[in-house]
C-alpha cells in the first residue's frame, strides 16, 4: 500500500529526534534521494550523549558502532569516549548534509485523512506535514524512579543516574547507588575511584557480568553471534563462561546470577560489561547490599530489613520510553509502552509511521540503529 496520497507524496519524511537513530535514518534516506527533515527538541544533535556522565565510553566497539556512510575515526580508539561520540554525531550530520531543525519538540503525531500522510504538532504551535514519520526519540527518554514508599517525605539527596556527571560533588560522602545495570555498575565504580567515602550498591537481582573483551575478542561480537541461537542453548552455554571469567563474589554480597543470560536479556536485563565493578567489589570499595524497599525516618530500608543512612542516593533505575503523548492515541504501543513494530515494519492501520531505537539488544544498539536505518530508508524509498 502506498504511504500517502499523491499530494502528500512530495512532502518530506520527518524524523523525530537527532540522536544516532534519527541521524542514521535521515542519512540513509538522503542516500536514496528521499528528502528528510530531522526535528530535534534540543539545540544540538546528540542531545542524550551530551548529558551522559563524564567517564562514559561506548562499551560496544568503534567498528561495530559506526552509523551508515561514515566510520568513526581510528584515533577515537577501540572504546570511544562520550565526547568523541558527540563529535562523531555532529560530524555525521554535517558530512551527510542533513536537514536538522533544532529547538523544536514534536508533541503529537496525527494521521491525515485518507492515507494522506502524517501531521506533526510541535512546540510553538508549529504544524508540519510529511508523507512518512520516523520516531527516534530514544529508548532512554524519561528517567524512571520507582515509587518507593516514603520517598516524597525523605529529606536526603536523591538523584536519577541521568543527572549524575562525575564523582567530585560526592567526594567524602556516603553514597548508595540503586540498580546494577551497566549504568549503576559504572557509576558505583566512578564514585569509589573518585573519592566517595563509602559506596554501596543496592542489588535486587544479581546481574550476569561479562568481561568487555577477552584476549582481544569483544563481548559484543559474542552477542552478535549468539543472537539468533535458541535462548535455552545460550543460557546453557553462558553459565560456565560467566563462572570462568568472573570470580565468585558471593562472600562480598553479590551472588551468582540465575535465570539464564539470554532469558534475562530478553526480559530487558542485558548483561553488565565489567569496567571495574568486579575489582571494586573484591576490594571492598563497592559494597553490594539488598534492594531498596522504602524510605523511612530519614533512612533507606533494604529488602533484608537493614537500614542505611547515606548522604546521597543515585537511582540507576532506568528510563521509560515516554511515547504516550506522541503516539499513544494511534494504537501502535504495546502494554509496556514500546512500539509494537520496529524497523521497516509498520502497523497495518498506520502505514508510514516507523520506529527505531526501542529495543536494547545484546548485539549493541548503535549497530542495531544502523541496520534499522537502512531497512527503514529502503522501505520508504520503495513506497514512493
Ligand atoms: C549511559 C548509556 C550508555 C550507552 N552505551 C551504549 C554503547 O556503548 N553502545 C551502544 O550501542 N549503545 C549504547 N547505549 C544505548 C544507545 O545506543 C544510546 O542510548 C543511543 O543514544 C540511542 O540513540 P537514539 O537515537 O535511539 O536515542 P537518543 O540518543 O536518546 O536520541 C533521541 C533524540 O530525540 C530527541 N527527542 C526526544 N523527544 C523528542 C521530541 N518529542 N521532539 C523532538 N526531539 C525529541 C532527544 O533530544 C534526542 O536528541 C547507551 C545508552 C546509555 C543511556
Q: Which fold has domain 144-318?
A: FAD/NAD(P)-binding domain (3.50.50)
In angstroms, rounded to a whole number, what is the distance separating the alpha carbons of residues 50 and 382?
35
Confidence band for 241, pLDDT divided at 50, 70 and 90: confident
Per the listing, cell 554480597 goes with 253
Pocket probe mutation, ligand 1, options 137, 275, 372, max atoms within 8 Å of Cβ: 137
Q: Is 289 in the pocket of ligand 1 (CB under 6 A)?
A: no
**Predicted local distance difference test score (pLDDT) of residue 6:** 47
Higher confidence at residue 228 or residue 157?
157
Count of other CB atoms within 10 angstroms of residue 5: 14
Query: Roughly what angle, to the nearest 10 degrees, separates helices 365-382 and 20-31?
Result: 40
13-141+321-382 and 144-318 share one CATH topology? yes
pLDDT digits (tens, 9 = 90+) for 25-74: 999 999 999 999 999 999 999 999 999 999 999 999 999 999 999 999 99
- Over the stretch 303-327, which tens digit does the pLDDT of each residue have? 999 999 999 999 999 999 999 999 9
Q: Which CATH code fits 13-141+321-382?
A: 3.50.50.60
Cα(116)–Cα(17) distance, rounded to whole angstroms?
A: 23
How far apart are the C-alpha atoms of 223 and 214, rounded to whole Å? Answer: 13
Q: Are strands 213-214 and 142-143 parallel, antiparallel or unpaired?
A: unpaired
Q: What is the pLDDT of residues 6-34, one digit of tens each?
A: 445 678 999 999 999 999 999 999 999 99
- Tell me, what's the pLDDT at 225? 87
pLDDT digits (tens, 9 = 90+) for 278-293: 999 999 999 999 999 9
The string of pLDDT tens digits covering residues 182-216 is 999 999 999 999 999 999 999 999 999 998 888 88
CB 373 within 8 A of CB 68: yes
Residue 3 pLDDT class (50, 70, 90 cuts): low
363 lines ligand 1 (CB under 6 A): no
What is the pLDDT at residue 9? 61
Out of 14, 15, 16, 17, give the residue to mutate to test ligand 1, the one with the largest number of ligand atoms within 8 Å of its CB: 17
- Looking at residue 1, its pLDDT comes to 45
**Locus of grid cell 499530494:** 7
Span 365-378, pLDDT tens digits: 999 999 999 999 99
Q: What is the pLDDT of residue 267?
A: 87
52 close to ligand 1 (CB < 6 Angstrom): yes
pLDDT of residue 4: 53
Q: Is 66 in the pocket of ligand 1 (CB under 6 A)?
A: no
Question: Pocket of ligand 1, candidates 366, 369, 371, 373: which has the most ligand atoms within 8 Å of its Cβ, to mutate?
Answer: 366
Domain ranges of the chain: 13-141+321-382, 144-318
Burial 21-53 (b: 16+ CB within 10 A, else e): bbbbbbbbbbeeebebbbbbbbeebbbbbeebb
| Residue 384: per-residue pLDDT | 72
**What's the pLDDT at 8?**
58
Residue for grid cell 573483551: 213
- DSSP assignment letter at 376: H
Q: What is the pLDDT of residue 175?
A: 98
pLDDT of res. 215? 84
pTM flag (> 0.85): yes
Amino acid at each position: 500500500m502506498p504511504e500517502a496520497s499523491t499530494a502528500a507524496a512530495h512532502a518530506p519524511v520527518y524524523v523525530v529526534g537527532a540522536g544516532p537513530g534519527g541521524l542514521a535514518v535521515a542519512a540513509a534516506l538522503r542516500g536514496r534521494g528521499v528528502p528528510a527533515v530531522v526535528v530535534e527538541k534540543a539545540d544540538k544533535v546528540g542531545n542524550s550523549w551530551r548529558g551522559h556522565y563524564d567517564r562514559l565510553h561506548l562499551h560496544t566497539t568503534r567498528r561495530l558502532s559506526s552509523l551508515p556512510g561514515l566510520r568513526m575515526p581510528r584515533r577515537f580508539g577501540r572504546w570511544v569516549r562520550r565526547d568523541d561520540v558527540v563529535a562523531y554525531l555532529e560530524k555525521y550530520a554535517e558530512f551527510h548534509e542533513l536537514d536538522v531543525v533544532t529547538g523544536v519538540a514534536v508533541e503529537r503525531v496525527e494521521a491525515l485523512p485518507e492515507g494522506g500522510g502524517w501531521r506533526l504538532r510541535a512546540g510553538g504551535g508549529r504544524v508540519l506535514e510529511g508523507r512518512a514519520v520516523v520516531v527516534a526519540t530514544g529508548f532512554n527518554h524519561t528517567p524512571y524512579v520507582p515509587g518507593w514508599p516514603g520517598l516524597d517525605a525523605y529529606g536526603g539527596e536523591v538523584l536519577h543516574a541521568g543527572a549524575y556527571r562525575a564523582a567530585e560533588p560526592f567526594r567524602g560522602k556516603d553514597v548508595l547507588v540503586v540498580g546494577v545495570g551497566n549504568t549503576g555498575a559504572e557509576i558505583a565504580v566512578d564514585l569509589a575511584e573518585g573519592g566517595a567515602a563509602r559506596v554501596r550498591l543496592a542489588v535486587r537481582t544479581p546481574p550476569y557480568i561479562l568481561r568487555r573483551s577477552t584476549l582481544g575478542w569483544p563481548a559484543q561480537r559474542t552477542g552478535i553471534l549468539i543472537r539468533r541461537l535458541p535462548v535455552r542453548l545460550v543460557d546453557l552455554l553462558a553459565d560456565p563462561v560467566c563462572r570462568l571469567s568472573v570470580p565468585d563474589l558471593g562472600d562480598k554480597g553479590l551472588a551468582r546470577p540465575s535465570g539464564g543470560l539470554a532469558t534475562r536479556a530478553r526480559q530487558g536485563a542485558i548483561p553488565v560489561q565489567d569496567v571495574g565493578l568486579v575489582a571494586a567489589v573484591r576490594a571492598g570499595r563497592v559494597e553490594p547490599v539488598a534492594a531498596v524497599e522504602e524510605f523511612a525516618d530519614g533512612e533507606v530500608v533494604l529488602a533484608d530489613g537493614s537500614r542505611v543512612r547515606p548522604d546521597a542516593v543515585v537511582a540507576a533505575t532506568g528510563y521509560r520510553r515516554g511515547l504516550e503523548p506522541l503516539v499513544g492515541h494511534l494504537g501502535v504501543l504495546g502494554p509496556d509502552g514500546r512500539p509494537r513494530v520496529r524497523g521497516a515494519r509498520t502497523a497495518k492501520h498506520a502505514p508510514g509511521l516507523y520506529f527505531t531505537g526501542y529495543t536494547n539488544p545484546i548485539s549493541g544498539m548503535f549497530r542495531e540503529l544502523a541496520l534499522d536505518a537502512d531497512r527503514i530508508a529502503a522501505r520508504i524509498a520503495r513506497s514512493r
